[in-house]
Amino acid sequence: MPGNTILTIASSPYKDQRPGTSGLRKRVQVFQQAHYLENFVQSIFDSIKPPQKALLVLGGDGRYFNREAIQIILKMAAANGFGRVLVGKGGILSTPAASCVIRKHAAFGGIILSASHNPGGPDGDFGIKYNTSNGGPAPEKITDSIFEASLKLTQYRIADAPDVQLDKTGDYTLCDMTVSVIDAVSDYADLMESLFDFGAIRDLLAGGFNIRFDAMHAVTGPYAREIFINRLKAPESSLMNCIPLPDFGKGHPDPNLTYAHELVEMLYGENTPDFGAASDGDGDRNMILGRNFFVTPSDSLAILTANAKLVPGYRAGLAGVARSMPTSAAVDLVAKELDIPCFETPTGWKFFGNLMDAGKVTLCGEESFGTGSSHIREKDGLWAVLFWLNIVAIKKQSVEAIVREHWAHFGRNVYSRHDYEAIPNDAANGVMAHLKAEFAHLPGKTFGSYKAEHCDDFSYTDPVDGSTSAGQGLRIIFTDGSRIVFRLSGTGTEGATLRIYLEAYDPVVANHHLDAQTALSELIAIAGRLSELEKRTGRAKPTVIT
C-alpha cells in the first residue's frame, strides 16, 4: 500500500505548453503522455507561488480523463503545500460554478479542467486553466509566467497516496491537506435565485409557457435539473440530454445552429416550444431560440442590457458594459442611450475581469455565445437563459417580439460569423499575411455598395492596469460603419480556426425580416475576394455559420 509521502519526480520540459485564451487545450492523448499534465500543473504552482495552507478550488466538465486528472492534481496540491482543496462531487464543476465557488469561499485560486465546447472522448480534447482569486481566468502576465516555468521545469512534486473518494460529499485527508468534496450545484443555484425573479419565471412556466433546455450531455445537466425542475417546477419534458457523459454522447458540445441541431430542429418544426436554449461542454456558453427564431449572441447582449432593470439583480442600474472587438456594436447603441460606458476589448474573458473588478462594467459578452455579468468572473450559460426567461416573464412577449421591438427602436446590426475549422496553420497564416499586406491599399477603395474607410490590426490598452494586447484581429471598416473582421481563434487543438465576422447596420424596419446571410451577401463576397480564402485554403464554404 502506498503511504502518504511526498515524491520529487525528475522530468523534462515540453515545448508546447503555452496557454491560449482559455488555458492549455490539447488532444486527450497529449495529456496522457508521461509527465505532461504533471509538468503543466507544477508550472502553475511554481508561477502562482501560493502561501502555505492556501485554499484551492478544483473541478471540470466531466469529459474523458477528468477523473484521472483530478486525482493527479489533488496529490500534487498536497505535495505543494496547499491546506485545503474544494473539489466538485465526482470531480465536476461547471466553469461558472467554479468561479462562484472561488469567490464565495475566498479561495486563493482554482484549476478548471475543460476544453469548453470542443469534442470529448478518448479521441477528443482536454484542457486545463488556472483562475485567480477573483474567480476569473488568469491574466496574460500569469499565463506567460506559467509557460516560461514549463520551459525550465526539471522536476515536479506529488504525493504517494491513495486516490480520494470523489463521489460522496465530505472531508477527506490527503497527507496534511484536507480535500472537501462539495455539492457541485447548490452554491451556484443559490446565486442564480438571488439574481432573478424565480417567482415570475415559475408563474410563466406554470401558465403553459413551454421551454426546452439542451445540456448537450455536458456539465450543465445537474444544474439545469436543480434550477428548472426542482426550483422553477418546470415539467420533466423541459430538459434534453441532461446526463453528463465523458464523450458528450459523441456530440460536439457547442451550442450553435450547426451542433445543437436536435434543439434547432425542434424549435423550427411544428408545434414548437415557446423557448429553446442550450449550453456547452463546461456551461459557460449559451444559445437562445424562440419559435422559428434565432437570437444572435450580439443581439442577446444588447437586449439584456436594454432590459436589465426588469431583473431584480440589476434594478439598481449598470455601471457599464463591455464587448469583445469581434462582437457587433448593437450593445454600443444601447449603452449610448442609457448613458453608460461601453468598452471594446480583445477576445477573452480575462479582459472583462479587470473592468468588473474596477467597477467599470456590470454586463459583458462575446459573439461566441458567451454573456455574463459581475456576479462571477466567467461567462455564464444558465445565467443568460434565466435572464431571458425573466425578461419574457415580465414583458409577456415572445422571444421574436422582444427582438423585433428592440430592432425597431435601435436599428438592426445584421451580423454573422463564418468559421473555417482545422485549416493547416501555414494556409491560415498566409491568409492573414496577405490581408495585412493589402491594408495599405484598401482605404478609399469602393467594393460595390461599400467603401473602405479604415483598416487595422486591433490593439487594446487596458484602462485598469495599462497593459497592451496587440494583434487581436484584422479589421476592415467601411464608411457606413459596416465591417469585416478576420481572426485566428485560440480555442481549437488541430490546425487553425479562421473566423470571419461580418456586420452591417440597418435602421430600416422593412428590411429587418431578411435572413442575415441574405442581408450580408455582398459583404460575404467582399470578404472572400479580399482574403483569397478559397485559393489559399481550398475551402469554398465555412464549417460553421452563426
Phi (first) and psi of residue 208, to 5 degrees? 100, 5
Question: CA-to-CA distance for 36 and 24, rounded, in angstroms?
Answer: 11
Question: CA-to-CA distance for 64 and 67, rounded, in angstroms?
Answer: 8
Q: Collapse the DSSP code of 287 into the 3-class scheme (helix H, G, I; strand E, B; otherwise coil) and give the result.
A: strand
Ramachandran area for residue 194 (φ above 0: left; ψ -120 to 50: alpha; else beta):
alpha
Residues 101, 103, 107, CA angle at the centre, nearest 5°?
80
Measured in whole angstroms, the distance separating CA 82 from the mean position of its chain's CA atoms is 28
- Among candidate residues 116, 298, 368, 531, the one labeled active-site is 116
Phi (first) and psi of residue 8, to 5 degrees? -110, 115
Active site residue 12: no
Establish how many alpha carbons lie within 13 A of residue 203's alpha carbon, considering only the half-sphere containing its beta carbon. Answer: 9
- Cβ burial, residue 499 (10 Å; 0-12/13-18/19+): buried
Question: CA-to-CA distance for 187 and 197, rounded, in angstroms?
Answer: 17
Q: Which residues of 63-102 are buried (b: 16+ CB within 10 A; e: fewer)?
A: bbbbbebbbebbbbbbbbbbbbbbbbbbbbbbbbbbbbbb
Question: Which amino acid does the sequence have at 129?
Answer: K
Q: Which residues contact 442 (CB under 8 A, 6 or more apart)?
A: 452, 455, 476, 530
Q: Collapse the DSSP code of 358 into the 3-class scheme (helix H, G, I; strand E, B; otherwise coil) and give the result.
A: coil
Give the containing element (helix H, strand E) for 336. Answer: helix 330-338
Q: Are 490 and 21 in contact (CB under 8 A)?
A: yes
Report, as residue numbers or ranges, the catalytic residues. 116
